[in-house]
């Protein structure tokens, strides 16, 4: 056990050094020769100081992503290896004999431990964003959001764990099928309540104050056969200088939302392009396709977690003090395996998402007919969020759910030339 513990720590340190070397020295972020001097070239729309900030910020932010990626895996592994998972279960069983209360106690202490252990990295990400003027939220506001997220996560996780472990104890070999069947309506329920229950916990939402702009946005929605009667704005300027817009919710709770920073940093025609892009997702049923794909994927994910967990307990359960999957002590193992499955699948899901984002760009161009506004919007997004125009291949592969700006702007410039 001592050798495993030391090996885990040393391995994590070596991994961190390898990622740092890759990002600072090994990765190729140079612009393709045929794009030099085009509108996709950051030197044509960023100052020398802004380019330096983008380079610094991107490297540090990417390094922090790669550091945090396996961090929870290490935490869960050490909890299991050192007996912490079993100790929390023993304590919860001493407090109460009711299984659903034991689950709540276990979830609380597990979440608290993981939150405290990962807090330094979370705070570093917040400090980094604030030092580069991306985040403008004060520390007290940031801490409030962390606390809200903490208790929200506990409530949802408690519900999930109570149902999950009931199924595991009731259907030892087929629990994963029952869990998957219940997972489907649960996802739709969360999507339905998110715009009206979860999102307002973090920000204030109001109807768009600029009625002329709202009328133009609703005009685009009408052209796209989207039944919308209002547009919402959210006061993100209290927290960030970045800009964004999105369509959220399902059914009667669907909403078109834009950040108020969008209103101050973009021109009207640029805003209309961004909103047309979001409408493209709706028209092309990207949300439905995404949910359907996620449901199919989750079927195999539940099975893989079940099979791997059963194999681990069968081979090393005695050493880990986990005799059966129905013990609460197995929760860190399930979370570890689920996180690994999601990570392995992330390159595929990211590639699908990038394709959908590109098709939404195409739709928005065809709807608005204004490629210049689209290019201006993407250039301003790059400037406001210090985004990499041409990220390293590994970063794009593992992180990017949207096409890099070099791809988006170069496509728009090509479209513009063809139109001319």
Mean pLDDT of 248-273: 84
Mean pLDDT of 169-178: 92
Residue 90 lies in a domain: yes
Residue 96 lies in a domain: yes
Residue 57 lies in a domain: yes
Residue 267 lies in a domain: no
278 is a catalytic site residue: yes
Residue 27 lies in a domain: yes
pLDDT at 333: 96
User: 252 pLDDT exceeds 70?
Assistant: no
Annotate the chain with three-state secondary structure: CHHHHHHHHHHHHHHHHHHHHHHHHHCCCCCCHHHCCCCCCHHHCCCHHHHHHHHHHHHHHHHHHHHHCCHHHHHHHHHHHCCHHHHHHHHHHHHCCCHHHHHHHHHHHHHHHHHHHHHHHHHHHHHHHHHCCCECCCHHHHHHHHHHHHHHHHHHHHHHHHHHHHHHHHCCCCHHHHHHHHHHHHHHHHHHHHHHHHHHHCCCEEECCCHHHHHHHHHHHHHCCCCCCCCEEECHHHCECCCCEEEECCHHHCEEEEEHHHHHHCCHHHHHHHHHHHHHHHHCCHHHHHHHHHHHHHHHHHHHHHHHHHHHHHHHHHHHCCCCCCCHHHHHHHHHHHHHHHHHHHHHHHHHHHHHHHHHHHHHHHHHCCHHHHHHHHHHHHHHHCCCCCCCHHHHHHHCCCCCHHHHHHHHHHHHHHHC
Residue 180 lies in a domain: yes
Confidence band for 250, pLDDT divided at 50, 70 and 90: low
Enclosing domain of residue 319: 2-202+286-419
Residue 305 lies in a domain: yes
User: 102 pLDDT exceeds 70?
Assistant: yes
User: 256 pLDDT exceeds 90?
Assistant: no
Query: Pick the catalytic residue: 233, 270, 278, 413?
Result: 278
Average pLDDT score over the chain: 91
Number of domains in the chain: 1
Mean pLDDT of 229-235: 84
pLDDT tens string 327-336:
999 999 999 9
pLDDT tens string 303-358:
999 999 999 999 998 888 898 999 999 999 999 999 999 999 999 999 999 999 99
pLDDT tens string 127-148:
999 999 999 999 999 999 999 9
Residue 214 lies in a domain: no
pTM flag (> 0.85): yes
pLDDT tens string 150-167:
999 999 999 999 999 999
pLDDT at 197: 85
């Amino acid at each position: 056990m001592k050798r495993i513990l030391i090996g885990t720590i040393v391995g994590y340190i070596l991994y961190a050094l390898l990622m740092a070397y890759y990002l600072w020295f090994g990765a190729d972020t140079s612009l393709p020769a045929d794009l030099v001097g085009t509108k996709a070239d950051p030197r044509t729309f960023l100052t020398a100081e802004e380019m330096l900030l983008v380079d610094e910020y991107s490297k540090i932010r990417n390094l922090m992503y790669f550091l945090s990626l396996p961090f929870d895996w290490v935490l869960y592994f050490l909890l299991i290896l050192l007996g912490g998972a079993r100790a929390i279960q023993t304590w919860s069983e001493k407090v109460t004999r009711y299984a659903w209360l034991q689950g709540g106690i276990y979830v609380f202490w597990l979440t608290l431990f993981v939150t405290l252990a990962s807090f330094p990295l979370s705070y570093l990400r917040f400090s980094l964003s604030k030092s580069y003027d991306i985040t403008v939220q004060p520390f007290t506001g940031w801490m409030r959001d962390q606390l809200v997220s903490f208790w929200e996560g506990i409530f949802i996780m408690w519900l999930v764990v109570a149902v999950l472990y009931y199924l595991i104890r009731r259907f030892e070999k087929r629990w994963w099928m029952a869990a998957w069947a219940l997972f489907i309506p649960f996802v739709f329920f969360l999507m339905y309540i998110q715009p009206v229950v979860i999102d307002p916990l973090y920000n204030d939402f109001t109807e768009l104050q600029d009625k002329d702009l709202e009328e133009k946005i609703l005009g685009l929605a009408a052209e796209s056969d989207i039944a919308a009667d209002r547009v919402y704005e959210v006061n993100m300027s209290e927290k960030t200088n970045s800009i964004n817009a999105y369509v959220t919710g399902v059914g009667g709770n669907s909403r078109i939302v834009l950040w108020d920073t969008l209103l101050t940093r973009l021109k009207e025609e640029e805003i209309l392009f961004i909103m047309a892009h979001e409408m493209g997702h709706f028209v092309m049923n990207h949300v439905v396709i995404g949910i359907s794909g996620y449901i199919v994927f989750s079927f195999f994910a539940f099975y893989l977690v079940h099979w791997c967990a059963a194999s681990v307990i069968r081979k090393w359960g005695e050493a880990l003090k986990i005799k059966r999957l129905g013990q609460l002590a197995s929760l860190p193992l399930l979370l570890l395996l689920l996180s690994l499955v999601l990570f392995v699948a992330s390159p595929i899901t990211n590639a699908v998402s990038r394709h959908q984002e590109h098709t939404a760009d195409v739709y928005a161009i065809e709807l608005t007919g204004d490629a210049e506004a689209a290019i201006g919007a993407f250039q301003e997004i790059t400037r406001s969020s210090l985004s990499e125009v041409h990220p390293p291949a590994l970063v794009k592969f593992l992180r990017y759910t949207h096409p890099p700006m070099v791809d988006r702007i170069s496509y728009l410039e090509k479209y513009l030339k063809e139109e001319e």
